[in-house]
Every structure is written in structure tokens, then in C-alpha cells.
């Protein structure tokens, strides 16, 4: 039975939310006890009683809201911060000497919990916004703020921004870790599939190829097709480059035709890995060499370049023969991509291309050079009779329109 890897994601910020929950409860209790033991200083104790009752009920009722980033909504944060600011501004109404004596406000250090909720939810920018409001309201409440007031508001401001920044870094690290775990799980799954396929399908295809070659005739053609499919399947399970392909047999010419669907819709990906379009060409007589890293081009550019490579391979099959060997080499340079198609055929006699164009056969001129010219690239063809043919296709990574010239 096939097993599927499951990636378990760990939230690095969840412990911070649990700590914030405990902090809010403890500071709420602290604010209540502070008011109880200092009740003699209040000129209007009912103001303190009403506010602290509301604060206690709100703190306990809102515990689910500070259980995580999803539950902690913007509306909750706004009401929570408004309650803290209201408590600061109500302090002079309960204690007439609050502005002349550096005493605690009604919410006391509970206010910092509201600011920390902003930091955990939105990072350092949200923390800076909330802590700035708290600093302004504290200064307004004091009237003529003292050095201790500035010290306290600056401490809250710096601490909340630092925690917000740490949260942002933790989230980025969590995303990176989750992506690495997904890649590791996918790699293990691909290795498992490769082992299973190697023990079954690949061995059968290899046996069909050997037996077909030994029997000859139509069986030899069947063996050749099995060999090509073995190479394509091996490439798929080992590198994961080969996308879904359609393989059909041309009965008239006995050729294998592969077509790759490319989506050119605007909603598609911004870049395309050229290797995925060229890897299906690999077979028993075509060797594919690539840099081992994604070769990214615009989807339309990659499709046109792959079509030019396909046209070059068609020329190899038609003019060099079914038994000719071909090589595809992909080079990824900083400013351009170079694809070289080489074969060991008899080569092209001098003047044959010009003669073909004169006779109206525009395969090389249109299918290869025309495509590259439209991409702003070049196509150079070098052929020596008896030594094969080499086609070098160059495409800039940043399109230059139709300004390019054909080689």
C-alpha cells in the first residue's frame, strides 16, 4: 500500500500567545489589587470600581481572542486598546492628584498587554502604532510629564517594537522550515516511487527492449520504443523534470512524437522552467544535459525556444536518419540562455540551406531562425559534411523584442 508523507507544522509564535494570555490575567489581578490597597488615594472611588470591573470582565471574556493570530481580529484589538486608553484618561477623574504625583494609572501595566497583542498580530509596525497612541495618551493624562513618564512610555515603545520584529522573523523562519519539510517529504516520496518503479515497470521495459532487439523486425521497433519510454520514465522519477506528455506513434514514418502543453494565459505562472519542456525529448538516441538548476524564462519565450529545439531535432531525424545520435545541451548564463543541438549525422552540404530556401522549404529559416529572431535571440548553424550538424540557439533573459538578429 502506498504511503503518503505528512508534514507536521509547528507554530513558533503560539507560545507567545499563551504567554500573552497569562500576562493579561496576571496584570488584571495586579491592577485590581493595586486599587484595593491604594483605595484611600481615590477622590472618586466609584470611577475606579466601575472601570476595574469592566476591565476584569473584558479580560476574562476575551481570553479566547488572544489564543492565536486568527482569533485576534482587528476589531478586538481596536476595542482592547480603546479600553486601555480610556482607563489612562479616567485616572485623573478618580484621583485628583494623579497629574501631580507619579502614581500608577487605573489599568497600570495591563496596558502593555494590549500593545503586545498588536505586536503579535501585525509585527513591529502595528506595535509602533499602538505604543505611540499609549505614549501620547500618557503624556496628555500627566499634563506636564516627568522623567519617569517618559521612561515608562519609551520602555513600552521599544519593547513592543522589538517583540513585533521578533514575531515577524519567527513567522518567516516558520514558513521556510515548513517549505523545507515539504520538499524533504516530496523527495522521500519520489525516492520511494523510484524504487517501486525500478523493481517493476523499468525492469519490464528494459527486458522488452533487449528481447525486441534480439528478435529483430517489428519486435525491434517495439524494443526501441520501450527503451525510449524507459529513459523518459527514469528521468521522471529521478529528477521530477518531465511533465505529462502525450506519446503517439506515427505509422507512416515510424516516429515517436511528444507534445507538451504550455499555458500562455495571463493567469499562468510568471516564469517557466525550460528543462521541463526539453526533458521529454530525451531517449535512447537523444541525450539531454542541463545545469541541474531551474532555467527560468517567460512561458511564451520558453515555449518558442522549445519549439525551435523540436524543429532542430526533426531535421536530425529527417536528414540524418533514424539511427543518428543527438545531444541537447542547456546553458544558463546571467543574461541569456543557450541551447545547443548537435548530431553525428552526415552534415549539410555547402549551399544546401540556400537551395532549400530557394525551393520554398523554409524549415530552418522559419521554424528555427524566425522563432529566435522574434524573441530577440540568434540561431547559428554550423555543419561540416561528414561531421554532423550543430545548432546553437541563444535567447536573452530580458526580451529585446524583435531587435535581435538571426545568426
Q: Is pLDDT above 50 for 190?
A: yes
* pLDDT score of 98: 65
CA 33 vs CA 29, 43, 222: distances in Å:
6, 18, 89
pLDDT confidence band for 56 (50 / 70 / 90) = very high
The end-to-end CA distance of the chain, in Å, is 55
Determine contact, residues 235/279, Cβ cutoff 8 Å. yes
Average pLDDT, the chain: 77
Q: Is pLDDT above 80 for 54?
A: yes
- Nearest to residue 161, comparing CAs of 108, 121, 116? 116
For the chain, percent of residues with pLDDT exceeding 90: 21
For every residue of the chain, which 3-state class applies, written as one string?
A: CCCCCCCCCCCCCHHHHHHHHHHHHHHHHHHHHHHHHCHHHCCCHHHHHHHHHHHHHHHHHCHHHHCCCCCCCHHHHHHHHHHHHHHHHHHHHHCCCCCCCCCCCCCCCHHHHHHHHHHHHHCHHHHHHHHHHHHHHHHHHHCCCCHHHHHHHHHHHHHHHHHHHHHHHHHHHHHHHHHHHHHHHHHHHHHHHHHHHHHCHHHHHHHHHHHHHHHCCHHHHHHHHHHHHHHHHHHHHHHCCCCCCEEEEECCCCEEEEECCCCCCCCCCCCEEHHHHHHHHCCCCEEEECCCCCCEECHHHHHHHHHHHHHHHHHHHHHHCCCCCEEEEEEECCCEEEEEEEECCCCCCCCHHHHHHHCCCCHHHHHHHHHHHHCCCEEEEEECCCCCEEEEEEEECCCCCCCCCCC
Determine contact, residues 149/139, Cβ cutoff 8 Å. yes
pTM: 0.47
**Residue 401 vs residue 393, higher pLDDT:** 393
**Cell numbers that stand for 140 in this block:** 496628555
Q: Is pLDDT above 90 for 185?
A: no
Could you report the per-residue pLDDT of 119-142, keeping only the tens digit for each? 889 888 898 899 889 888 888 887
Determine contact, residues 392/372, Cβ cutoff 8 Å. no
* pLDDT score of 42: 82
Q: Which letter, b or e, does each residue of 369-405 get, where b requires 16 or more Cβ atoms within 10 Å of its Cβ?
A: bbbbbbbbbbbebebeeeebbbbbbbbbbebeeeebe
Rounded CA gap, 157 and 164, in Å? 11
For the chain, percent of residues with pLDDT exceeding 70: 75
Could you report the per-residue pLDDT of 231-290, keeping only the tens digit for each? 776 666 555 554 443 333 333 333 333 444 444 444 456 888 999 999 888 877 888 888
Name the phi and psi angles at 145, rounded to 5.
Answer: -65, 145
Could you report the per-residue pLDDT of 68-118, keeping only the tens digit for each? 888 899 999 999 999 999 998 888 888 777 666 667 888 988 988 899 999
**Cell numbers that stand for 349 in this block:** 552540404
pLDDT confidence band for 160 (50 / 70 / 90) = confident
Lowest mean pLDDT among 74-83, 201-210, 218-227, 248-257: 248-257
pLDDT confidence band for 57 (50 / 70 / 90) = very high
* Residue tagged 540568434 (cell numbers): 378
**Residue 367 vs residue 403, higher pLDDT:** 367
* pLDDT score of 53: 94
Could you report the per-residue pLDDT of 348-369, keeping only the tens digit for each? 776 555 555 544 343 454 568 8
Pairing of strands 272-273, 286-289: unpaired
Could you report the per-residue pLDDT of 306-333, keeping only the tens digit for each? 988 988 888 888 777 777 889 999 999 9
Amino acid at each position: 500500500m502506498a504511503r503518503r508523507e505528512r508534514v507536521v507544522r509547528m507554530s513558533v509564535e503560539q507560545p507567545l500567545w499563551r504567554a500573552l494570555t497569562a500576562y493579561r490575567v496576571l496584570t488584571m489581578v495586579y491592577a485590581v489589587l493595586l486599587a484595593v490597597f491604594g483605595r484611600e488615594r481615590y477622590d472618586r472611588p466609584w470611577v475606579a470600581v466601575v472601570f476595574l470591573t469592566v476591565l476584569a470582565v473584558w479580560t476574562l471574556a476575551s481570553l479566547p481572542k488572544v489564543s492565536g493570530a486568527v482569533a485576534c481580529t482587528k476589531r478586538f484589538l481596536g476595542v482592547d486598546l480603546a479600553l486601555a486608553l480610556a482607563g489612562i484618561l479616567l485616572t485623573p477623574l478618580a484621583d485628583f492628584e494623579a497629574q501631580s504625583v507619579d502614581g500608577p494609572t487605573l489599568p497600570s501595566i495591563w496596558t502593555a498587554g494590549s500593545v503586545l497583542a498588536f505586536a503579535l498580530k501585525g509585527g513591529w509596525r502595528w506595535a509602533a502604532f499602538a505604543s505611540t497612541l499609549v505614549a501620547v495618551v500618557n503624556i496628555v493624562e500627566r499634563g506636564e510629564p516627568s522623567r519617569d513618564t517618559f521612561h515608562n512610555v519609551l520602555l513600552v515603545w521599544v519593547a513592543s517594537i522589538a517583540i513585533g520584529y521578533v514575531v515577524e522573523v519567527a513567522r518567516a523562519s516558520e514558513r521556510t522550515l515548513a517549505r523545507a519539510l515539504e520538499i524533504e517529504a516530496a523527495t522521500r516520496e519520489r525516492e520511494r516511487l523510484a524504487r517501486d518503479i525500478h523493481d517493476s515497470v523499468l525492469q519490464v521495459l528494459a527486458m522488452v527492449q533487449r528481447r525486441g532487439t534480439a528478435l529483430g523486425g517489428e519486435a525491434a521497433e517495439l524494443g526501441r520504443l520501450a527503451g525510449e519510454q524507459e529513459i523518459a520514465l527514469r528521468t521522471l522519477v529521478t529528477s521530477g523534470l518531465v511533465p505529462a506528455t502525450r506519446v503517439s506513434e506515427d505509422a507512416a514514418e515510424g516516429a515517436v512524437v511528444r507534445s507538451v502543453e504550455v499555458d500562455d494565459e495571463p493567469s499562468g505562472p510568471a516564469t517557466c522552467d525550460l528543462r521541463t519542456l526539453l526533458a521529454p525529448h530525451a531517449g535512447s538516441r537523444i541525450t539531454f544535459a542541463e545545469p541541474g538548476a531551474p532555467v527560468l524564462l517567460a512561458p511564451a519565450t520558453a515555449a518558442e525556444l522549445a519549439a525551435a529545439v523540436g524543429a532542430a531535432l526533426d531535421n536530425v531525424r529527417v536528414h540524418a536518419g533514424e539511427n543518428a545520435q543527438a545531444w541537447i545541451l542547456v546553458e544558463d548564463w546571467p543574461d541569456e540562455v543557450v541551447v545547443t543541438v548537435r548530431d553525428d549525422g552526415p552534415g549539410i552540404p555547402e549551399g544546401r540551406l540556400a537551395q532549400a530556401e530557394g525551393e520554398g522549404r523554409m524549415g530552418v529559416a522559419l521554424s528555427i531562425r524566425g522563432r529566435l529572431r522574434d524573441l530577440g535571440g540568434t540561431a547559428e548553424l554550423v555543419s561540416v559534411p561528414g561531421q554532423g550538424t550543430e545548432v546553437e540557439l541563444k535567447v536573452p533573459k530580458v526580451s529585446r523584442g524583435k531587435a535581435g538578429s538571426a545568426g
